[in-house]
Amino acid sequence: MKHIINCLVENQPGVLARIVGLISGRGYNIETLNVGPTADPTVSKMTIVVPGDAHVIEQVTHQLSKQVDVIEVVNMTNRRHLNRELILVRVAVGDHQHRAEVVDLASLFMARVVAVQEDSVTVQMVGNQETVDDFLRLLKHYAIVDISRSGVIAVGREAGENGGK
User: What tens digit of pLDDT does each residue of 41-88 get?
Assistant: 999 999 999 999 989 899 999 999 999 999 999 999 889 999 999 999
- In whole angstroms, give the CA distance from residue 164 to residue 151: 20
**Long-range contacts made by residues 55-61, C-beta under 8 angstroms, separation at least 24?**
56/28, 57/3, 57/5, 59/26, 59/28, 60/3, 60/5, 60/23, 60/26, 60/28, 61/5
Kindly state the DSSP code that residue 69 receives in the 8-state scheme: T
**For the chain, which residues make up each domain, given as ranges?**
2-78, 82-149
Domain 82-149: top CATH class: alpha beta
Query: In terms of residues, how long is the chain?
Result: 165
CB count in 10 Å sphere of residue 73: 21
User: What tens digit of pLDDT does each residue of 112-132 get?
Assistant: 999 999 999 999 999 999 999
* Global pTM value: 0.84
Query: CATH 3.30.70.260: does it fit domain 2-78?
Result: yes
